[in-house]
Chains A and B, each alone.
Chain A
């Protein structure tokens, strides 16, 4: 089946630095990518939706200048957490699907810890 590879699976960074998370679709064209964040003991929260070649659509309350999303190709989408703070520590996960397909595929998730 289709695979979405997300990395890194975990990262520890210092406050003020930036971290890039990548999601690659390995054997299909990911026209749409969803980025989610999970707070401890809560369900996923949608951060943004990105379509290949266009700007991401951010959910209300998500800072677009802090969480930079790039979806420049049909196989790669990236989420960059800029000027990270400890409150950005969380579990981030991507999900992608291709045009006209109802199936969605998840990355493995990234555990970000900002110290």
Chain B
């Protein structure tokens, strides 16, 4: 079945640690890829998106993601996390049917 997989359910890091959240998808063909963040009690916010071009995408708040087509992956990275990055992160894929499909989410807890 076509799906979006986020490998980690809950990640706990100390401040200044580096972050990488995995995302894999199983859709073939052209896809549009997104990472969203949801802070406690708030709605989704778009961190970054990939439609075409440079597979290394830079987003807001120091986040970046790399699209590796051969691996069907779109991992999210940040070199040095802050306590304020504590949130839930969702990978999403917009495939041929134009419908958005989400991963299950990864909860990030950053310890001060």
| Interface residue ranges, A against B (CB under 8 Å) | 1, 32, 34, 36, 38, 40-41, 43-44, 46, 49, 91, 93, 95, 97, 102-104, 106, 109, 111
Contacts and interface: CB of A to CB of B under 8 A. Distances in A.
B53 to A, nearest CB: 14
Contacts, number: 56
Contacts of A102: 38, 40, 86-88, 107
Given A36-B44, A102-B88, A109-B101, 4 more contacts: A41-B94, A102-B87, A103-B107, A106-B90
Interface string B36-55: 10101101101001010000
Given A109-B100, A111-B99, A46 B88 contact: no
Contacts of B92: 44
Nearest to B99: A91
Q: How many B residues are at the interface, by size bracket?
A: 20 to 34
A103 B103 CA distance: 13
Contacts of B97: 111
Contacts of B99: 38, 91, 109, 111
Contacts of B46: 43-44
29 contacts: A1-B104, A34-B43, A34-B44, A36-B44, A38-B98, A38-B100, A41-B51, A41-B94, A41-B98, A43-B34, A43-B46, A44-B36, A44-B46, A44-B92, A91-B98, A91-B100, A95-B38, A102-B38, A102-B40, A102-B86, A102-B87, A103-B105, A104-B90, A104-B105, A106-B90, A109-B99, A109-B101, A111-B97, A111-B99
